[in-house]
Structure 1
Amino acid sequence: MSIQSTGVLEQIKFQANQIAAAGNSLSIRDTKNSEPVSFSGLLINSLNNINQLQTSAKSQSQNYLAGAPGIGLNDVMVSMQKSSIALNLGVQVRNKLVNAYQEIMNMSV
């Protein structure tokens, strides 16, 4: 995990915590459980999943470099690509949210 990706992940987590702290009252209903799901909760869960993928990829690559049995290079590369794609998706979602926020703030009332 590079310093740049760690910084981006920390920014996204900070923004998600700000949304959660603001007491976001917007919620959607989950069709399976019929319980309200908050936007901030979904965002925080997504960030936790991204973090978990990055942590898993990092530990798997360290185990491979240490020579642990049962870990192939292909497994390491797949987990690294999964974490990279997840981080890129998180960054793109953050960018879209920031753009939408800026567009709403620029609207005249």
Structure 2
Amino acid sequence: MITNGMIAPVNLTANVNNLNQLQNKATPAEAAESFASFLKNALDSVAAQEQNVHKVNDQFIIGEANVNDVMIASSKAELSLALTSQVRNKVIEAYQEIMRTQL
């Protein structure tokens, strides 16, 4: 895999491994806590990518980065934000469906 020192690779396998551990928890409270930490890590990753875009953009302005680095970093951040927004929409839809369920 080709990596660039200015752009950190996205580590999705660690998040998937955390999800696999959710199935092995004994109590619902522990599972909820693990899921909350998974969400926090995912959102922190999106925020870190946004900060990376700002850093690379500043480096481009002073001439220390090329336009390719800026475009790659901004595309990764844009895709992460789009994914986060789609996941949020699906969670809201699921919540609304649960609320519509009649007992």
TM-score normalised by the chain length of structure 1: 0.64
C-alpha deviation, 1:41, in angstroms: 1.0
Aligned to 1:79: 73
C-alpha deviation, 1:38, in angstroms: 1.6
How far apart, CA to CA, are the structure 2 residues paired with 1:99 and 1:45?
A: 23
How far apart, CA to CA, are the structure 2 residues paired with 1:47 and 1:40?
A: 11
How far apart, CA to CA, are the structure 2 residues paired with 1:84 and 1:49?
A: 12
Q: Does 1:103 align with 2:85?
A: no
Q: Does 1:63 align with 2:59?
A: yes
Alignment of 1:1-109 (within 5 A): 27-29=22-24, 38-68=34-64, 71-109=65-103
Structure showing the higher strand proportion among its residues: 1
TM-score normalised by the chain length of structure 2: 0.68
User: Deviating runs (4+, > 6 A) in structure 1?
Assistant: none
Aligned-pair identity in percent equals 32
Aligned to 2:11: none
C-alpha deviation, 1:73, in angstroms: 0.8
Cα contact 1:28–1:38 (8 A) shared by 2: no
Cα contact 1:50–1:86 (8 A) shared by 2: yes
Number of positions where the alignment pairs a residue of Structure 1 with one of Structure 2: 77
How far apart, CA to CA, are the structure 1 residues paired with 2:42 and 2:97?
A: 24
Unaligned runs of 5+ in 1: 1-26, 31-35
Unaligned runs of 5+ in 2: 1-21, 26-30
